[in-house]
Amino acid sequence: QVTLKESGPGMLQPSKTLSLTCSFSGFSLSTSGMVVSWIRQPSGKSLEWLAAIDWDGDKYYNPSLKSRLTVSKNTSNTQVFLKITSVDIADTATYYCARIAAIPLFDYWGQGVMVTVSS
Amino acid sequence: DVLMTQTPVSLPVSLGGQVSISCRSSQSLVHSDGNTYLHWYLQKPGQSPQLLIYRVSNRFSGVPDRFSGSGSGTDFTLKISRVEPEDLGVYYCLQSTHFPLTFGSGTKLEIK
């Protein structure tokens, strides 16, 4: 059973760095072809793909945010992390992590973690 | 980036009825490998998106055959027959042919 769960600070101030964790089970990120991605959704709006890391440690970023994003994983391949620097109000959103397996699409999603940027 | 345009924005429906949602892309979604990576998701209220249809017309595991997808190139359609209460929510298309991956703006299916 594939499960993913996001965790994060809930609220942070503008200009700070947002750190998010995706903990997952039911699959191994060390398996060839596996990818974990981050996607976000401001309240009432559509979805935006942010970043991804694959089984080989290769990293992919949305060019529109690339300068502010860092994706990484732990050595046991059970968690993926996302850092977003210099946050502002526009980064207020629900952040999801999701799996990509054989086909480039998100087949399993976490429940999401809401992040509010406010002074 | 590939722009994904969904219509309509809102779609009132009677339970048991049939509806269609359109998704149009600003570029062809035919990949160099010959596949078309256009997928459909449903986001129920308060939940994460869930995969319905992948690669235009393939139903994901457990998705009822009331859902069907069609289209090619830049023009795609999701059809829902015999609408049930559990079908209500926001539908999104996603393209993964081109980098970066992009989603449509969403279509909200609601009771008439």
Q: Which residues of A touch B105 (CB under 8 A)?
A: 46
Contact A110, A7 (CB under 8 A): no
- pLDDT band for position A103 (cuts 50, 70, 90): confident
- pLDDT band for position A102 (cuts 50, 70, 90): confident
Mean pLDDT of chain B, nearest integer: 97
Which residue in the set A63, A105, A110 is minimally distant from B54, CB to CB?
A: A105
How close, in Å, is residue A118 to chain B by CA atoms? 23
What's the pLDDT score for residue A42? Answer: 98
Among A70, A74, A64, CA closest to A28: A74
Contacts 24+ apart (CB under 8 A), B80-85: B80/B18, B80/B19, B80/B20, B80/B21, B80/B109, B81/B18, B82/B16, B82/B17, B82/B18, B83/B13, B83/B14, B83/B15, B83/B16, B83/B17, B83/B18, B83/B19, B83/B109, B84/B15, B85/B15, B85/B111
Task: Report the residue of chain B nearest A47, measured CA to CA.
Answer: B103
B59-79 residue pLDDT tens = 999 999 999 999 999 999 999
Put simply, the chain B residues between 25 and 64 with a CB less than 8 A from any chain A CB are 37, 39, 41, 47-51, 54-55, 60
How close, in Å, is residue B84 to chain A by CA atoms? 23
Cα separation, A33 vs A25, in Å, equals: 16
Q: What is the DSSP letter of B17?
A: -
Mean pLDDT of chain A, nearest integer: 96
Q: Which residues of A touch B50 (CB under 8 A)?
A: 109
